[in-house]
Amino acid sequence: MSQQLQNDLLLRTLRGEQTERTPVWMMRQAGRYLPEYRVLREKYGFFERCQTPELACEITIQPVDIVGVDAAILFSDILVVPQAMGLEVQLIEQKGPVLPDPVKTAADLNRVRVPDVQETLQYVFDAIKLIKQELNGRVPLIGFAGAPWTLLCYMVQGKGSKTFDEAKAFCYTQPELAHRLLQMITDTTIAYLKAQVAAGADTIQIFDSWGGLLSPHDFEAISLQYIRQIVAALKDEVPTIIFAKGAWFALEEMAATGAAGLGIDWCIKPQLARQMAGSNVTLQGNFDPAKLLSPIPVIQKEVREMLQAFGPQRHVANLGHGILPNIPVDHARAFVDAVKEFRFAAQ
Cβ nearer to ligand CP3, comparing 164 with 170: 164
Active-site residue, from 32, 180, 304, 333:
32
Q: Is 191 annotated as a binding residue?
A: no
Q: Is 41 a catalytic residue?
A: yes
- The strand pairing partners of 203, in sequence order, are 142
Is 261 annotated to bind ligand? no
Rg of the chain (C-alpha set): 19
321 is in an annotated binding site: yes
Backbone φ, ψ for residue 64 (5° rounding)? -65, -45
Q: Check if 38 is active-site.
A: no
215 has binding-site annotation: no
Angstrom distance (rounded) from CA 299 to CA 106 = 50
The active-site residue out of 12, 33, 37, 77 is: 77
Smaller CB separation from ligand CP3, 33 or 310 = 33
Q: Which residue is nearest to ligand CP3 (CB)?
A: 209
C-alpha distances in angstroms, 321 versus 25, 95, 266, 290, 295?
A: 12, 19, 8, 10, 20
The least CB distance from residue 252 to ligand CP3, in Å, is 23
Residue 37 in marked binding region: no
For ligand CP3, the closer CB: 50 or 342: 50
Q: Are 287 and 332 in contact (CB under 8 A)?
A: no
- Residues near ligand CP3 (CB under 6 A): 27-32, 41, 46, 73, 75-79, 91, 96-97, 144, 160, 207, 209, 322
User: Is position 330 annotated in a ligand binding site?
Assistant: no
Instruction: List Cβ neighbours of 98 (8 Å cut-off, separation of 6 or more).
Output: 89, 90, 91, 92, 158, 159
Nearer to ligand CP3, 127 or 342 (CB): 127
314 part of the active site: no
Distance CA 22, CA 314 (A): 8
Whether 28 sits among the annotated catalytic residues: the reply is yes
Given the residues 154, 202, 265, 274, select the one marked as catalytic. 154
Among residues 125 and 342, whose Cβ is nearest to ligand CP3? 125
Neighbouring C-beta atoms of residue 140, cutoff 10 Å = 29
Beta carbon of residue 26, minimum distance to ligand CP3 (angstroms, whole number): 8
* Cβ contact 73:25 at 8 Å: yes
* Minimum separation from the CB atom of position 147 to ligand CP3 (A): 9
DSSP 45: -
CB of 153 to ligand CP3, least distance (A): 8
CB atoms near residue 4 (< 10 Å):
9
> From start to end of 123-231, where are the E strands?
141-146, 203-208
Q: How far apart are CA 77 and CA 36, in angstroms?
A: 19
**Do the beta carbons of residue 160 and residue 97 sit within 8 Å?**
yes
* Annotated catalytic residue within 15, 28, 138, 333: 28
Closest CB to ligand CP3 among residues 23, 97: 97
| Smallest distance, ligand CP3 to C-beta of residue 320, A | 11
15 noted as active-site residue? no
Question: What does the buried/exposed string (b/e) look like for 170-190 if buried means 16 or more CB atoms within 10 Å of the residue's CB?
Answer: bbeebeebbbebbebbbbbbb
- 304 assigned ligand-binding residue: no
Q: How far is the CB of 209 from ligand CP3 (least distance, A)?
A: 3
Which residues are part of a known binding site? 28-32, 47, 77, 154, 209, 321
Which residues are part of a known binding site for substrate? 28-32, 47, 77, 154, 209, 321
Residues taking part in catalysis: 28, 32, 41, 77, 154
